[in-house]
């Protein structure tokens, strides 16, 4: 027993240092991306465990922590960097049930921009499909991204039925889903062909799809660039679309793609022209139309 009396903080400080040491030891002990040492036995051929859908990220208190992170970090940062101009938010407000937000994808900034564009209520109930082979290659990174953005692993390689099933389960349990049907970021900023997963999900669950077009994100943070640059960005949301009863998955996907392309080419909203009556009429969400059958 020491001759001196311990101060009131000695105990807690020691415990905290011990915990920190443990964390650092674990952090340094495993290197997930290092090549496997040749002295280690080869892994046996086993059936891989079903991938985690990161359910922990969608329960309390993680949701509250994410709410704080998004409100205090993500949204102010997005606002400060690009000051996005959002059009068609009224469609989100009018949604009475979960929806799929299908957007073009040209940048890592896209997810933040879409979350920024949603209403508070919709954002708190939104999961983001993130490429399993990219974001979840390193478990630590995948979990951190999930904490920030509520992502879950979405397989973009073959045999994706299982993944589509977990996505539809999320939709059925009341979550909105952000999906980039192109599959990966555009190399040059132009919209690529949409993969049919979005149509499949919409058909299976009867969920409406909200087409979203993001303009300017490619200039902010293109592929192979690590840090975002400030620049103007516009996020435009369209009218929710539902597949017709006899419409096939691929036909519906093509229609969604067309809607996104239409949003990209649509002229500026006439918000600075005409009398207020004309501006009011022009800004009415229900009057936005794109293509046939929309």
Partner 1 sequence: MPRPGAVIEVDRNTPPALFHFGEGVRLEKLPLGARIVYPPDPLEPIAHPERAIKRALARPLEDDPLKALLRRGMKLTIAFDDLSLPLPPMAAPDVRQLVMEEVIDMAVEVGIEDLHIIAALGLHRRMTEDELRHIVGDRIFSTFYPDRLYQHDGEDPENNVYVGKTAHGEEVTLNRRAAESDLVIYVNLTLVPMDGGHKSMSTGLASYRGIRAHHNVKTLLGSRSYMNPPDSALHHSCIRQGQLIEDTVRVFHIETTVNNHAFPAIANFMQKRETDWTAQDQAMFLATKQMTDLAPPAFKRNVFHAMRAPYGLTAVHAGQVDAVHDKTLDAVNRQIAVHVEGQTDIVTIGVPYLGPYNVNAPMNPVLVLCMGAGYLFNFYRNKPVLRKGGVLILTHPCRYEFDAVQHPSYIDFYDEVLADTKDPAEIEQKYELRFAEDPWFRQLYRKSHAYHGAHPFYALYWAAHAMDHAGDIIVVGGDREVVHHLGLKCATTLEDALEMAEQTVGRYPSVTHLRTPPIMLCEVD
Binding site for partner 1 (CB under 8 A): 60-61, 63-64, 67-68, 71-72, 86, 89-90, 93, 119-121, 124, 271, 275-277, 279-281, 283-284
- Return the closest-CA partner of residue 53 out of 141, 196, 170: 170
**Secondary structure (3-state) at 103:** strand
Q: Nearest approach, Cβ of 120 to partner 1 (angstroms)? A: 6
Gap between the Cα atoms of 231 and 108, Å rounded: 14
Residues ≥6 apart with Cβ < 8 Å to 200: 164, 249
Nearer to partner 1, 165 or 289 (CB): 289
Helix or strand holding residue 261 (H, E):
helix 249-265
Nearer to partner 1, 223 or 279 (CB): 279
Q: Nearest approach, Cβ of 73 to partner 1 (angstroms)? A: 12
Work out the widest C-alpha separation in the chain, in whole angstroms: 87
Q: Nearest approach, Cβ of 65 to partner 1 (angstroms)? A: 9
Nearer to partner 1, 143 or 283 (CB): 283
Q: What angle do CA 119, 171, 261 make, to 5 degrees?
A: 65
Nearer to partner 1, 119 or 184 (CB): 119
Gap between the Cα atoms of 258 and 252, Å rounded: 10
Nearer to partner 1, 95 or 160 (CB): 95
Q: Nearest approach, Cβ of 284 to partner 1 (angstroms)? A: 8
Q: Nearest approach, Cβ of 60 to partner 1 (angstroms)? A: 6
């Amino acid at each position: 027993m020491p001759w001196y009396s311990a101060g009131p903080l000695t105990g807690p400080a020691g415990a905290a240092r011990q915990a920190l040491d443990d964390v650092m030891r674990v952090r340094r002990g495993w290197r997930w991306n290092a090549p496997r040492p040749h002295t280690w036995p080869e892994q046996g051929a086993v059936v891989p465990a079903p991938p985690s859908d990161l359910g922990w990220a969608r329960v309390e208190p993680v949701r509250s922590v994410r709410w704080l992170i998004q409100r205090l970090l993500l949204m102010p940062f997005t606002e400060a960097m690009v000051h996005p101009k959002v059009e068609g938010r009224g469609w989100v407000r009018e949604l009475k049930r979960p929806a799929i937000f299908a957007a073009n994808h040209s940048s890592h900034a896209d997810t933040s921009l879409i979350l920024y564009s949603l209403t508070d209520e919709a954002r708190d109930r939104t999961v983001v499909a993130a490429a399993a082979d990219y974001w979840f290659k390193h478990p630590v990174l995948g979990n951190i991204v999930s904490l920030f953005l509520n992502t879950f692993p979405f397989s973009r390689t073959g045999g994706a039925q299982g993944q589509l099933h977990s996505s539809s389960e999320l939709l059925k349990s009341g979550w909105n889903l952000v999906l980039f049907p192109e599959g990966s970021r555009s190399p040059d900023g132009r919209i690529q062909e949409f993969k049919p997963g979005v149509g499949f999900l919409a058909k299976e669950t009867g969920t409406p799809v909200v087409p979203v077009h993001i303009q300017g994100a490619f200039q902010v943070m293109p592929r192979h660039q690590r840090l975002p640059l400030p620049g103007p960005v516009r996020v435009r949301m369209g009218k929710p679309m539902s597949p017709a009863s006899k419409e096939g998955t691929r036909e519906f996907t093509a229609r969604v793609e067309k809607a996104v392309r239409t949003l990209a080419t649509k002229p500026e909203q006439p918000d600075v022209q005409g009398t207020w009556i004309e501006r009011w009429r022009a800004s009415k969400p229900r009057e936005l139309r794109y293509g046939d059958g929309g």
